[in-house]
Amino acid sequence: MKTGGAGVRRRISPQQKRQNLYGYLFMTPWLLGFFGLFVGPGLYSLYLSFTKYDVLSTPEFIGLKNYVEMFTNDDLFWPSLGRTAYYAILSVPLSVIGSMFLAIFLNNKLRGITIYRTLFFMPSLVPLVASVILFKWLLNTDFGIVNQGLRSIGMQNPPGWFGDSDWAIPTLVLLRLWGALGGTQMIIFLAGLQGIPTELYDAAKVDGANSWQTTRHVTIPLLTPTIFFNTVLGIIGAMQTFAAAFIATEGGPGFATWFFALHIWKQAFDYFNMGYASALAWFFAILIVVLTLIQMRLSRRMVFYYGE
C-alpha cells in the first residue's frame, strides 16, 4: 500500500539513495541476464532480420527483403500460421475449461480427494520426450493398445493418430490435455478457488441455490481473473508449441504439424537461414504481443475482481 510520499521527490533524500542502491544491487544478476541474454540478443536478431546470414559468411544487409519474402514467397508461411492457430483454438479452451472444472471438482471436501489431486497432477511431471514416446506407442496404428481396444469394440478403421495428417494435430492436443489438464494450471485454479470468500457460498446456500447455480453464479464469476491469467499464458504457450511436434513427427506427416515456431526452427538450424529465421521470429513476437494486448483490453470487460 502506498501512503503519500509523492511530493517528497524533489531532491534525492539519503533514504531514497539507499533504496536505489539496494534495489539495483539486488537486481544486478537479473539486469545482467536481461541485457546479456535478452535485450542484446534480441536487438542482434532484429539486425539479422534485415540481412542474409548463413553463419559461415558475414551477414549481408538486404533491407526488408526477408519480410517481403515471408509474405509473398514462402509457401509454408501462411499454412504454418494456420496450423498454429488451429492448435491454439483447439487446445486452449479445452485445457482452460477442463482444468477449471477439474479444480472445482477437486475443491470438494471428499474422502481421498488428495489422491485424485496427485493422480491428476502426475502426467504434468512426465518429461515431454518421455510422454511423446509413450503416446506414439500408445497410439501406434497397428499395435497401440488404444487402437487394439477400439478394434475390439467393433471399430473397423480406428484413427491413424500421429500417422494421419488429419489426426496429427488433434493427437497433439490430446497429448497436451493429458499433460496439462491436471498440472500447474489446475493448481492455479485451486489457489483461485481457495481465495473465494466462504460467505458468498453461505449466501448462495441461504438463497437455495443448487450446486450448478452456485458454480455458475458465484464460482465462475469470481474465477474470471484466474481464467484470464491461464488463458493468456495458455495462448502464449500454444502459439509457441512445437517441441512435441518436433519429437513426434518432425512436422509431418506431410507438413501436417509444421507449426510456425517449427518453421522458424527449421529455417535457423536446418537450413541456416539465420537472417530469414530472425525476420520470422520478429514477426512472430510482434504477433504474440499484439494478441496478448488485445486480450488484456478485452479483459477489462470480462474480468471481475471481487472487492475492488
Say if residue 123 is preceded by a cis peptide, omega within 30 of 0: no
The single residue among 61, 71, 271, 306 that binds other proteins, judged by CB under 8 A, is 306
158 binding other proteins? (CB under 8 A): no
With contacts defined by CB under 8 A, how many residues of the chain interact with other proteins?
111
> What is d(CA 256, CA 232) in angstroms, rounded to the nearest whole number?
25
**From the CB of 116, what's the least distance to other proteins, in Å?**
5
**From the CB of 202, what's the least distance to other proteins, in Å?**
10
HEC profile of the chain = CCCCCCHHHCCCCHHHHHHHHHHHHHHHHHHHHHHHHHHHHHHHHHHHCCEECCCCCCCEECCCHHHHHHHHCCCCHHHHHHHHHHHHHHHHHHHHHHHHHHHHHHCCCCCCHHHHHHHHHHHHHCCHHHHHHHHHHHCCCCCCHHHHHHHHCCCCCCCCHHHCCCCHHHHHHHHHHHHHCCCHHHHHHHHHHHCCCHHHHHHHHHCCCCHHHHHHHHHHHHHHHHHHHHHHHHHHHHHHCCHHHHHHHCCCCCCCCCCHHHHHHHHHHHCCCHHHHHHHHHHHHHHHHHHHHHHHHHHHHHCCCCCC
* 71 versus 306: smaller Cβ distance to other proteins: 306
221 binding other proteins? (CB under 8 A): yes
150 binding other proteins? (CB under 8 A): no
Piece in contact with other proteins (CB under 8 A), picked from 42-50, 71-79, 86-94, 153-161: 42-50
258 binding other proteins? (CB under 8 A): no
Q: Tell me which residues in 231-250 interact with other proteins (CB under 8 A).
A: 233, 236, 239-240, 243, 246-247
Residue 131, C-alpha cell as written in the block: 510422454
**From the CB of 162, what's the least distance to other proteins, in Å?**
13
85 binding other proteins? (CB under 8 A): no
Q: Tell me which residues in 170-189 interact with other proteins (CB under 8 A).
A: 178, 181-182, 184, 187-188
**From the CB of 37, what's the least distance to other proteins, in Å?**
6
197 binding other proteins? (CB under 8 A): no
302 binding other proteins? (CB under 8 A): yes
**From the CB of 41, what's the least distance to other proteins, in Å?**
4
Piece in contact with other proteins (CB under 8 A), picked from 60-68, 73-81, 87-95, 145-153: 145-153
Helix axes 274-302, 40-48, angle to 10 degrees: 120
145 binding other proteins? (CB under 8 A): yes
Piece in contact with other proteins (CB under 8 A), picked from 67-75, 154-162, 165-173, 207-215: 207-215
* 167 versus 276: smaller Cβ distance to other proteins: 276
List the one residue out of 303, 299, 105, 110 whose CA is nearest residue 190: 105
110 binding other proteins? (CB under 8 A): yes
281 binding other proteins? (CB under 8 A): yes
8 binding other proteins? (CB under 8 A): no
Phi, psi of 238 (to 5 degrees): -65, -40
7 binding other proteins? (CB under 8 A): no
294 binding other proteins? (CB under 8 A): no
93 binding other proteins? (CB under 8 A): no
